[in-house]
Structures are given as structure tokens and as C-alpha cells.
């Protein structure tokens, strides 16, 4: 078929909707409802787990060996650990991120008394008071506190508002869509991935493209705390491609442009055959790409395997600068990533044996161990 025409305006509109819907892990219901409405608008049937992970099936020419493509809608955030004597809030992180990137953040506290606004500040927040001590204060979550924008003179006043230990704190994304194609925001990990899945789906439906086999589009709700795709797969799925961020930083091969195909993360190498298939698809479809290895990173793929799923997994990413901080991506990477997902959905099945969870050795794969190249 002709090259897919990704609707970039649609992709960015969905990304903006997602970014403006708070969804730290544990507080994802409204983001899930947003996805439900969009899947219905696209005309797709979907199923939901008890806690809110979603799976939508795009029927293929044959049902098996089914494929899955996954991204997570949950983000980093924080939780109230203690209401302090001064009425402010001590926080613990939701997900793994440094308090360095929380300092100065505007936030919303979701409490029994309603939603309250506030700012996360270092304990020594005034240079006029603490002078050079503001530069020597340690960096950790015990060194910041959330100042609530309500009249509270102490702990009892804050408790009277309905704010208490365990309340969820959502960090403002502050998204900017810039004319140069850059998108700057918190929580691009992994709402940009979710928007990429939706854009690929929208294109396939609009252009009447049929996957080779049944393809499940998965949206998980607890990846940032390591649970991810642990309970959303069906047994027919033989291979899963995860879409997440690829860190652009010194020592990494990722880029904010093109698609970065991860060959391994901290849990080990991704599936040899599936990863190389994706690299070849990128070559065949003239999709700019590069490969990388991430040492301090895990994704929905790891959670699926740890939960016992015997599937092939791979990771394709959009390059992101300052991951888990003040993030930046480029829209061209999202467009190219959507194209690669469509190419994968339409690609031939090379390992037909994967249609069965267990079988004999016939049709099992080989990896080259031949003579050295001169």
C-alpha cells in the first residue's frame, strides 16, 4: 500500500488532551475515560480490566499469532506522606524521579475535601532569608514540601480542608507546542506514546488498512511503578511492541528525531528476531532510525515477561531530552514512530510456529553462528 498519511494535527490534539488530563499512577481513571471515548469515536470495540487497563482489537486477515502494541497512560507524581506542623505537606514520589525536578512545580492535591492547588518548594526557598544556604541544601524528597494555596496556619487547618496522608499529587505538565516542531512538557513519558498509538490507529482505520493478524492496542495504567502490561494481555498474543521514551543524553545513541529501536534495557536484551524485524521494517519503509541500549530503564515489556507471558517483546521509542524532568520531544519522531507501527501491523508473519504457545521443534528459529566475515 501507499505510504500512510499520519494526521499530525490529530496526533498533537490527542497529546494535548492527554497532557491536560492528570493521571499519576493510582489516579488514572479520567485519562482512561478519555481513551474510552476516543476508541469509541474511532469505532473500535475495547475491553477493560478491573483497574482500568484497556485493550482494543483491530481485526487482521487471520487471528493468530496475534500481536500487541502497548503504551502507558500513567505518569510520575507524588503522594502526601505527612501533614507537617507548619501546615505544609511532606511528599513521596510516585515513580522514580528526582526531587530536583519537583522544585518549583505547580501541582494539584486531590483530597477528600476537593482539589487544592499548590507549589512544591525546597525547605529553604528564600534567598533573602537563607542566603547561600539555598545553594547547599541537599537534593531529596525530604528537602521539599508542598505549599497549599489555602489559608492554613498549621497542621490542624490543613487537615480541616480534608487534606491528609496518602492524597495524590499531580504535577502540572505545562505543555508547549512550538512552531519548530518541538513539544516541551512534563509527562511526555508516555502520553506521547499513547498519542502515537492513537494516530497509527486513526490512520489505519481512515485508510482502510488491515493488519496481517489480529493486533491488540494496549493502554496500561501502572508502568511507572513497574506493573505495566502485567495483566492486560490475552493468550493469543505472541509478540508485543512497547512504545515509550528513548533517552537522549551523553553516552546514548538516541535522537529526538527519527525512531530509536532499543536493543536492550536493564532487564536484558529484547527479542532478537522481533527487534531486528523492526530495524528492517524501518529500512524498508525509509523511516529514519537508530539503535540504542538503556542501562537504567524498564518498560511494559519487562512487566509482561515478569508476569509470566511467554511472548516476544521489543521496544521502539521517541527520543526525549531530560526524561523524567522537563521533557522535550520533536513531532517528527512521533510521526515516524506511527509509520513504523503501521508497517509492523501490516508485515508478514515470519515465525508461524508462534501461533501456538507450545509445540515441537519444527519451525523454531535460528540465529547465525556461521563463519567469521573476512
Q: How far apart are CA 198 and CA 176, in angstroms?
A: 20
Provide the 3-class DSSP secondary structure of residue 334: helix
Q: What is the SS3 assignment for 158?
A: helix
Task: Kindly report whether the peptide bond that precedes residue 65 is cis, defined as omega within 30 degrees of 0.
Answer: yes
H/E stretch holding 58 = strand 54-58
| Angle (nearest 5°) at CA 134 between 132 and 139 | 135
Residue carrying the nine cell digits 529526538: 256
Task: Measure the CA–CA gap between 166 and 89, rounded to whole angstroms.
Answer: 11
User: Which candidate in 38, 202, 223, 327 is catalytic?
Assistant: 223
* Whether the bond into 190 is cis, omega within 30 of 0: yes
Q: Which of 124, 129, 15 is nearest to 71 (CA)?
A: 15
Q: What is the pairing mode between strands 62-72 and 213-220? A: parallel
Judge whether 221 and 74 are in contact, CB under 8 Å: yes
Closest alpha carbon to 301 in 222, 196, 229:
229
The SS3 call for residue 159 is helix
The DSSP-derived string for 262-317 is EEEETTEEPPHHHHHHHHHHHHHTT--EEEEE-SS---HHHHHHHTT---EEEEEE
Q: Are 356 and 310 in contact (CB under 8 A)?
A: no
Distance, CA of 276 to chain centre:
22
Q: Among this protein's residues, is 223 annotated catalytic?
A: yes
Q: What's the DSSP call for residue 86?
A: T
Q: What is the DSSP code (8-state) at residue 372?
A: P
Catalytic positions: 223
Amino acid at each position: 500500500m501507499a505510504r500512510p498519511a499520519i494526521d499530525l494535527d490529530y496526533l498533537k490534539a490527542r497529546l494535548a488532551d492527554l497532557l491536560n488530563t492528570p493521571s499519576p499512577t493510582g489516579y488514572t481513571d479520567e485519562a482512561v475515560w478519555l481513551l474510552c471515548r476516543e476508541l469509541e469515536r474511532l469505532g473500535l470495540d475495547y475491553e477493560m480490566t478491573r483497574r482500568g487497563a484497556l485493550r482494543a482489537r483491530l481485526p487482521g486477515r487471520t487471528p493468530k499469532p496475534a500481536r500487541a502494541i502497548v503504551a502507558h497512560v500513567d505518569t510520575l507524581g507524588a503522594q502526601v506522606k505527612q501533614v507537617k506542623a507548619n501546615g505544609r505537606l511532606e511528599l513521596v514520589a510516585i515513580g522514580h524521579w528526582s526531587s530536583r525536578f519537583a522544585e518549583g512545580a505547580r501541582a494539584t492535591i486531590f483530597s477528600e475535601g476537593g482539589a487544592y492547588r499548590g507549589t512544591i518548594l525546597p525547605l529553604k526557598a528564600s534567598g533573602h532569608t537563607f542566603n547561600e544556604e539555598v545553594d547547599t541544601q541537599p537534593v531529596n524528597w525530604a528537602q521539599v514540601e508542598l505549599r497549599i494555596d489555602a489559608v492554613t496556619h498549621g497542621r490542624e487547618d490543613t487537615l480541616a480542608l480534608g487534606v491528609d496522608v496518602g492524597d495524590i499529587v499531580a504535577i502540572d505538565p505545562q505543555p508547549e507546542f512550538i512552531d519548530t516542531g518541538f513539544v516541551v512538557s512534563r509527562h511526555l513519558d508516555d502520553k506521547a506514546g499513547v498519542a502515537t498509538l492513537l494516530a497509527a490507529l486513526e490512520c489505519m482505520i481512515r485508510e482502510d488498512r488491515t493488519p496481517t493478524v489480529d493486533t491488540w492496542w494496549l493502554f496500561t495504567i501502572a508502568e511507572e511503578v513497574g506493573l505495566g502490561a502485567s495483566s492486560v494481555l490475552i493468550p493469543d498474543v505472541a509478540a508485543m511492541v512497547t512504545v515509550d521514551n528513548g533517552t537522549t543524553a551523553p553516552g546514548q545513541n538516541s535522537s529526538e528525531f527519527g525512531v530509536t529501536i532499543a536493543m536492550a534495557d536493564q532487564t536484558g536484551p529484547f527479542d532478537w528476531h522481533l527487534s531486528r524485524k523492526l530495524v528492517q521494517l524501518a529500512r524498508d519503509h525509509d523511516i529514519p532510525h537508530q539503535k540504542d541500549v538503556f542501562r537504567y530503564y524498564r518498560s511494559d515489556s519487562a512487566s509482561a515477561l515478569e508476569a509470566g507471558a511467554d511472548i516476544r517483546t521489543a521496544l521502539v521509542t521517541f527520543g526525549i531530552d531530560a526524561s523524567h524532568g522537563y521533557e522535550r520531544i520533536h513531532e517528527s519522531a512521533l510521526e515516524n514512530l506511527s509509520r513504523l507501527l503501521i508497517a509492523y501491523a501490516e508485515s508478514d508473519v515470519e515465525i508461524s510456529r508462534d501461533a501456538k504457545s507450545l509445540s515441537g521443534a519444527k519451525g523454531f528459529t535460528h540465529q547465525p553462528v556461521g563463519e567469521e566475515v573476512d
